[in-house]
Amino acid sequence: MSSASEANALDVLVSPAVQQVLDAMQAAEINPEDALEISLVLLNFLQEYHVENLEELLADERPDPISIAVWAADSARLKTARQLLGEVLGEDDDEDDDDEIADEDELDETAEDDDDEEIDDEADEEAEDEADEDDSALG
């Protein structure tokens, strides 16, 4: 299905560390179930990284709502991917979530609230600007 040139092109796209892991996986002759478990571990790693970054962004004196929204959205995507992969493996995701990842829902809600407030503020400013323009046109 894939030619040797396609495989070589993919090798060029990965870092040496990633290539080392891929080589180890090939040498270990992992089965598909092992590959799924490895994928789940990697998704957990990425999701924890996103949760930590969200916590840092929310702790800032002047948090950037756009950054929070982007990190929260990515974190939610990772959570969904992890849940779907867990279902493929037949794991019950609700039982073995650790507290950090379980707190992600709270972080997502906080980020959504911050986004809503920013959107409301922008809408209020736009309405005020329009009202000022109307008043100056009449006056």
Question: Can you tell me the distance from the alpha carbon of 132 to that of 13, in angstroms, rounded to the nearest whole number?
Answer: 54
> Is pTM beyond 0.75 here?
no
Question: Can you tell me the distance from the alpha carbon of 69 to that of 39, in angstroms, rounded to the nearest whole number?
Answer: 25
Question: Other CB atoms closer than 10 Å to residue 74's CB: what's the count?
Answer: 16
Tens of pLDDT, residue by residue, the chain (139 residues): 444 444 555 556 888 998 898 899 889 988 988 989 999 999 999 999 999 999 999 999 998 999 999 999 999 999 999 999 889 888 754 555 555 455 555 555 655 555 555 555 655 665 565 555 544 444 4
